[in-house]
Structure 1
């Protein structure tokens, strides 16, 4: 967070470093004191930010990855930036800073896999719910059972997800360390990725259930296990974790039983199971998006409120503040929301016949 504000309103109070787009302050079209969180800055999210009249979009993935020689409407990403600038909306991207920070995305994923195991009673309830859904499908008079019916299922929205009180994050005894530690003064534990080592081996089935609960109980997600093994047979002592794409980070790790990430290539996954390892993937951004809802929104809202109050007081005490800027500074309202339109490009196509 930065309090280095010159003559611009709310968005400059929120960020300074990693600012990809700084929109000018227009007193005739003042933005709301609101932040929109997203993993990817897609055209749908840009539309949402404009409709909401936000001051700034915090996009986990930077929309600018390399230098630009021009900014035109021919490129969809540049078009998004131009539209946001025209509407007075700035763009900020924390990306790997959130990966490496203690309490960041990788620690959030580590908290999930070290959560409390499921009880037998809860297992039975899930079976009952599954039987109920199956019965409703079989009794549907409008369902043609002679041919498959497919449904495209995207990852469940964390906005509507009820927190699972039975999943006590980080409750299973373990140790954790970064895969690649960073020496940052005053920030112990910073680094890329995480390695979790359990005090006692954990059933793979229990870890799968923790992951499902922690990311919103999706209809399914990919796993890979060595040939000749079954999920019920396998126990996990150690997990390597990387949000997004973990292939390069996992490449030289040893004594790891499970790789947990958003995506691995075919050959990376094949190489892992050939070495006796297991793999859990969620699709790239599904390993990141839940952090915005469950952690970042609250943290950022608290910090932005404090920061904005300090900026307001400091700027209002200066001489020569224009009437328009003073009016903007007089607005103490602050809000942080997570995009409702941000989603991973991939979904699961599920057959509704023979369930």
Structure 2
């Protein structure tokens, strides 16, 4: 294996694990760009840790974090390379992050809409949130508003507050409901992923108070300082009951507002435009649009980290065992051979969620002084 023409063995195991969990064929290739977006060459003499950093967005702050941690791979849910590049230079801040990561031997993988589509993926996690199937394990996850919001130099508004999703959750019995995929993925569908597709429709067995659903959303997403909600004219949030919820992480218009699809009682997504929200409430539906990535980030803590860790441990053990068995005594000789042998001998597997990742929008709310 040449150190100049391939990625690190551990990196290859990460990519294989992600593809097993979130098949790239289930991503919406009509617009999306998923897969291994940056493949850093393997340098056995300067080996990275067998660690993965999960993030929603690959920002400069997250890149700094990965470099400091000496991770092998950043799994960035949103693709940092979305459209074709004509150049890759230090003038562009995002390209600068990619070049710095490559220099440090860190690869970047982006799964995006494959995570939305799979059974048990991000859309189903949001279904668990609204049905009360998951709850934070920490009693401190529900701070009072006064303790959550910091004072500001502004005399009218608090400092910007950014939600911090619960780091761990427990499974609870959900409110009785059925769920279905709004736009099933086209065939061929990989075995075991038959219910894959964009968006989910939750239908409760009995109508639920809208205020109770709002409380569940707040709990599951880290108690944001404000929850934007669009309300039909001449209706009251306190009096509203919800039977159906249309769910789409991120930007939901292309999934929830497609022509010919009946509108549910509540649309729960990251963002809709002004006119899209207006069209929904004119048709009698409520809308909760929580800021794009606030509907996504909690999944990394609640589900993806453990899923990837479990799969990656098995994958890495198989890769390293096979490689160590195939390495001849001659191949182990010299500095390169010893470093390569050491890389395969390393049993460590770490998957963490970024501490620096956050939605670009925070909430400044009216001061309660």
Conserved 8 A contact 2:165-2:297: no
- CA drift at 1:117: 11
- CA drift at 1:157: 4.6
Aligned counterpart for 2:323 among listed residues 287, 307, 315: 315
- CA drift at 1:6: 7.1
Q: How does 1:1-355 map to 2 (within 5 A)?
A: 8-15=8-15, 18-115=35-132, 133=146, 147-159=155-167, 163=169, 168=172, 171-182=174-185, 183=187, 184-186=189-191, 187-251=193-257, 252=259, 253-318=261-326, 319=328, 320-321=331-332, 322-354=337-369
Q: Distance in 2 between matches of 1:116 and 1:242?
A: 17
Number of residue pairs aligned between Structure 1 and Structure 2: 329
Conserved 8 A contact 1:60-1:95: yes
Q: Give the TM-score normalised by the residue count of structure 1.
A: 0.86
With over 3 angstroms needed to count, the CA separation of the structure-2 counterparts of 1:117 and 1:69, relative to structure 1, is closer
Quote the RMSD (CA, aligned, Å): 2.6
1:227-271 CA-partner distances (Å, limit 9, x unpaired): 111111111111110000001211232141110000110000011
With over 3 angstroms needed to count, the CA separation of the structure-2 counterparts of 1:272 and 1:255, relative to structure 1, is closer
Conserved 8 A contact 1:117-1:206: no
Conserved 8 A contact 1:196-1:240: yes
With over 3 angstroms needed to count, the CA separation of the structure-2 counterparts of 1:109 and 1:143, relative to structure 1, is closer
- CA drift at 1:115: 1.3
- CA drift at 1:147: 4.0
Q: Please give the secondary structure, in 1, of the residue aligned with 2:47.
A: coil
1:276-301 CA-partner distances (Å, limit 9, x unpaired): 00001110001000000010001101
- CA drift at 1:129: 5.4
Q: Give the TM-score normalised by the residue count of structure 2.
A: 0.83
- CA drift at 1:112: 0.9
Q: Distance in 2 between matches of 1:285 and 1:143?
A: 25
Of the structure 1 ranges 308-317 and 246-255, higher mean CA displacement relative to structure 2 is found in 246-255
Structure 1: 4+ residue segments shifted above 6 A: none
- CA drift at 1:7: 7.4
- CA drift at 1:353: 3.7
Q: Please give the secondary structure, in 2, of the residue aligned with 1:179.
A: strand
Conserved 8 A contact 2:7-2:39: no
Segments of 5+ residues of structure 2 without an aligned counterpart are: 20-34
- CA drift at 1:148: 2.7
Q: Distance in 1 between matches of 2:276 and 2:13?
A: 43
With over 3 angstroms needed to count, the CA separation of the structure-2 counterparts of 1:333 and 1:353, relative to structure 1, is same
With over 3 angstroms needed to count, the CA separation of the structure-2 counterparts of 1:202 and 1:10, relative to structure 1, is same
- CA drift at 1:225: 1.0
1:200-220 CA-partner distances (Å, limit 9, x unpaired): 111111111111111122222
Q: Distance in 2 between matches of 1:76 and 1:129?
A: 37
